[in-house]
Amino acid sequence: MNILEVRNLRKYYATQKAVDDISFTLNAGSIFGLLGPNGAGKTTLIRMITGIFYPDEGEILFNGRKFNPQTDILQTGYMPEERGLYKKMKIGEQAIYLAQLKGMSKADATAKVKEWFIRFEMQTWWNKKVEDLSKGMQQKLQFVTTVLHEPKLIILDEPFSGLDPVNANLIKDEIYRLAKNGASIIFSTHRMEQVEEICDHIILVNKGQKILDGTVKQVKQQFKEHLFRISLEEKAAAVSSPAFDVISTQENDLIVKIHEGNKPNDVLQYFLQQQHSIVAFQEILPSLNEIFIRLVENTPLARQFEKITA
Amino acid sequence: MNKTWIIIQREFLSRVRKKTFLLSTILLPILLAGVYAGMIYFSVKGNDEVKIAVSDKANIFQNELKNNDDISFTFLNDLSAKQLEDSVRAKKYTGYLYIPENINLATDSLNIKSVKSIGLFSSEKIKGRINSALREKKLLALVSRSQLDSAQRNANFTISRLDGNNKPDKAITVYAVGFGSGMIIYIVLLIYGTMVMRGVMEEKTNRIAEVIVSSVKPFQLMMGKIIGIGAVGLLQFLIWIVLTLVLKGVIFSGMDSSPMGQQIPAEGAAAFFSALSSVNIPLILGCFIFYFLGGYLLYSSLFAAVGTAVDEDPQAAQGLMLPITMPIIFAIMIMIKAVNDPNSSLAVFGSIFPLTSPVVMIARIAHGVPEGVSVAEILISMALLIVGFLGTTWVAGKIYRTGILMYGKKITWKEMWKWAFRKN
């Protein structure tokens, strides 16, 4: 079932089409990557999903019904990229306060906060103030306050920035655990290696428009260049075949590009016929990073301000 | 539970629990009282004691010049000018006046000599004393003492009202109550208004605003903050009122039992409190709280709107605040006029116009109803104030909604105007 369905969403500002006709669906329990360069319209898109902005056009379906900001945001947890907490407020109270604003009773909130603090080994922080915490500790606290009320939809904007690898792993494991327990997660970032690792499904947004949509596997297949790496026991002499070209040679390894209409088997066949003993043969798929750069590169880095007549 | 209520609780408790709350609750009245007491003290007893030695060889004054605490004259008719000068140099006297035997008052001038210069007020007083003594001497040369006395006696003179309601003179109390209440509302509007502004700025610069507006509507956040801080102000007032009543009780009970020496200050305070009872206290207190709340709601939402426009630059806050603080300062100027003349057209206008009425109206009400202000005027003023704060809250809410999430951009009044009046 779809927890979230976005249809033809538009939001225009005076000088920019921030979000221009974006649609996507998000399955319950999946981790969804929302990618895009700076200023692509990600934050505006997220703000519409979290009920902060009203869309100019289009509709949002939450749990199959029309999105109602009043009630549905209680089932949403949002951790913005530019995050913050009350600096002078005690940590325990602050977490309870934010959970109460998400509709929890004080008793429930207190119990939940204690549970999470134990899980993240933060019990001794309770009476500390936020200003006494390091940036990484603040980040952990922020994550806890985002997921405390057991939201069905969790939106995380750059959740790992400022975290050391140990704490980043802690958060990552929590994200997996939450997804396994049925929460859907929208994960917005520029860090492609994390997306590849974590996300089931991605969309890429640029200049307010969706330019890519699919599972990580599908996307990689879509952008593959038919490159293979073949490792041989000895260096191969002159290689020439109508089925493929050699792109580069590296000691005993060759990287080959298979021509259209040919198959990987043709490559193997050629080397077998040449009496080479093959150690390894592997397809080289483009990384998301490469795909991202390839798609975004041809557009000017900074969005230009334009006159909108709509 | 209503989310606005949760926000109100946080805003209220986080401020009341701070030590600064307790400190400001106790220190502010002490500071205010201290400032006023100081002003009164220095205006009454501003001058040093001035002692003048007089050697009146011509015997013009016949050893008679009025003395008081400030200025005293000592007649040393046997001494020469030189001897007087020596005693002044020895600091026994501030200055001396030597009148030679053959003085001609028509042409010669009297000359007081001193080491240090004598202050303007003191020298004016000395001049007045000597001149009036001289005038009396000259008149007595023409007429008898009894004729002079009857010529100088003032007529019996009273001012009364047509309706015959002649209460004892309460002008000073009315002035003090009216001026004091207006002043307190003025100070409180500024203090709590800027407190709201700082709170909004904190939320914006801390970037917690975006987290919170993904849980509640921006308007709820703004109202929660305004009401929460307003409740802090109200609590502070209640503490002050209770403290005043306790103080009153202590002074009255102290008066019966205290020994003679203690009685003078106690009597002064008791006199103040009994004068206070000639003013309609419940009416003033009720109106005071109404105008405090109305004025606070009206201005604090504007301060909140300004808070959203500030982005980490306190300098910008000063500039944006100016259009809001201007009417408050105008209000205090009109209030000073209204306290003297509650029915002047400026006072009437100021007490009805919602941006100034919170400060001005209380000064008119101190004069009583209907002497200072009519019931109709109070009702119109209250209604307009309610309309006024609903209006400013609505406008500020729209500015707030846009401004609270706007970063990295300098926001001008022109833009805020646009946000306030655009559709949706």
- Which of A178, A194, A221 lies at the terminal end of a domain, its last residue? A221
For B73, phi then psi, to 5°, come to -115, 135
Whether A65 and A199 share a structural domain: yes
Asked if the Cβ–Cβ distance from B3 to A101 is below 8 Å, we say: yes
Confidence of residue B262 (pLDDT cuts 50, 70, 90): very low
Given this model, what pLDDT does residue B405 score? 79
CATH of the domain at A156: 3.40.50.300
Given this model, what pLDDT does residue A95 score? 92
For residue B370, whether the previous peptide bond is cis, meaning omega lies within 30 degrees of 0, is: yes
Residue B32 lies in a domain: no
Could you read off the pLDDT of B49-100 as tens digits, one per residue? 788 888 888 777 777 777 776 778 888 887 788 888 888 888 888 888 888 8
Residue of A nearest to B9 (CA): A97
Given this model, what pLDDT does residue B260 score? 46
Per CB-CB distance under 8 Å, the chain A contacts of B10 are: 97
Asked if the Cβ–Cβ distance from A76 to B214 is below 8 Å, we say: yes
Q: Is A19 helix (H, G, I), strand (E, B) or coil?
A: strand
In the predicted structure, residue B252 carries a pLDDT above the cut 70: no
Could you read off the pLDDT of B10-22 as tens digits, one per residue? 999 989 988 888 8
Q: What mean pLDDT is reported for chain A?
A: 86
Strands of A253-258's sheet, edge to edge? A244-250, A253-258, A227-232, A278-284
Whether A133 and A239 share a structural domain: no
Which of A78, A86, A88 faces B214 most closely, judged by CB atoms?
A: A78
- Tell me the count of A-B CB pairs closer than 8 A: 63
Residue B26 lies in a domain: no
Residues 6 or more apart whose CB falls under 8 angstroms from that of A278 comprise A230, A231, A232, A233, A268, A271, A272
Given this model, what pLDDT does residue B418 score? 76
* Cα B239 to Cα A222: distance, rounded to the nearest angstrom: 72
Residue B353 lies in a domain: yes
Per CB-CB distance under 8 Å, the chain B contacts of A98 are: 211-212, 215
Look at chain A and count its residues. 310
Whether A203 and A182 share a structural domain: yes
* Cα B249 to Cα B230: distance, rounded to the nearest angstrom: 29
Residue of A nearest to B3 (CA): A101
Q: How many CB atoms lie within 10 A of CB B265?
A: 12
User: In the structure encoding, which two tokens stand for residue A233, read together?
Assistant: 């026991």
Q: Mean pLDDT throughout B221-234?
A: 92
| B3-B4-B8 Cα angle (round to 5) | 120
- The domain tally of chain B equals 2
Q: What mean pLDDT is reported for chain B?
A: 81
Whether B213 and B285 share a structural domain: yes
Query: How does strand B71-75 pair with strand B95-99?
Result: unpaired
Given this model, what pLDDT does residue B374 score? 85
- A79 versus B123: the higher-pLDDT residue is A79
In the predicted structure, residue B227 carries a pLDDT above the cut 90: yes
**Which of A142-151, A190-199, B40-49 has the lowest average pLDDT?**
B40-49
Q: Mean pLDDT throughout B173-185?
A: 83
Whether A171 and A30 share a structural domain: yes
Could you read off the pLDDT of B324-370 as tens digits, one per residue? 889 998 999 998 888 888 888 898 999 899 999 999 998 888 887 77
Give Cα B228 to chain centroid, integer Å. Answer: 28
Residue A274 lies in a domain: yes
Whether B131 and B178 share a structural domain: no
In the predicted structure, residue B263 carries a pLDDT above the cut 50: no
Domain range for A237: 225-284
* pTM reported for the whole predicted model: 0.75
Which of A74, A82, A98 faces B210 most closely, judged by CB atoms?
A: A82
**Nearest to residue A12, comparing CAs of A4, A2, A20?**
A20
Asked if the Cβ–Cβ distance from B206 to A85 is below 8 Å, we say: yes
Whether A174 and A231 share a structural domain: no
Could you read off the pLDDT of B140-155 as tens digits, one per residue? 888 888 888 888 777 7
Given this model, what pLDDT does residue B207 score? 82
DSSP string, A177-246: HHHHTT-EEEEEES-HHHHHHH-SEEEEEETTEEEEEEEHHHHHHHT---EEEEEESS---S--BTTEEE
**Nearest to residue A80, comparing CAs of A42, A114, A110?**
A42
* Cα A255 to Cα B150: distance, rounded to the nearest angstrom: 130
Residues 6 or more apart whose CB falls under 8 angstroms from that of B127 comprise none
Query: How does strand B50-56 pair with strand A209-215?
Result: unpaired
In the predicted structure, residue A209 carries a pLDDT above the cut 50: yes
Q: Mean pLDDT throughout B259-286?
A: 62
Give Cα A310 to chain centroid, integer Å. Answer: 31
Q: Is B399 helix (H, G, I), strand (E, B) or coil?
A: helix
Domain range for B262: 170-421
Whether A53 and A96 share a structural domain: yes
* Amino acid, res. B211: V
User: In the structure encoding, which two tokens stand for residue B103, read together?
Assistant: 């003085």
Given this model, what pLDDT does residue B414 score? 76
* B293 exposure class (CB count in 10 Å sphere: 0-12, 13-18, 19+): middle
Could you read off the pLDDT of B97-124 as tens digits, one per residue? 888 887 777 777 888 888 777 777 778 8
In the predicted structure, residue B44 carries a pLDDT above the cut 70: no
> Three-state SS string across B268-295, please?
HHHHHHHHHCCCCHHHHHHHHHHHHHHH
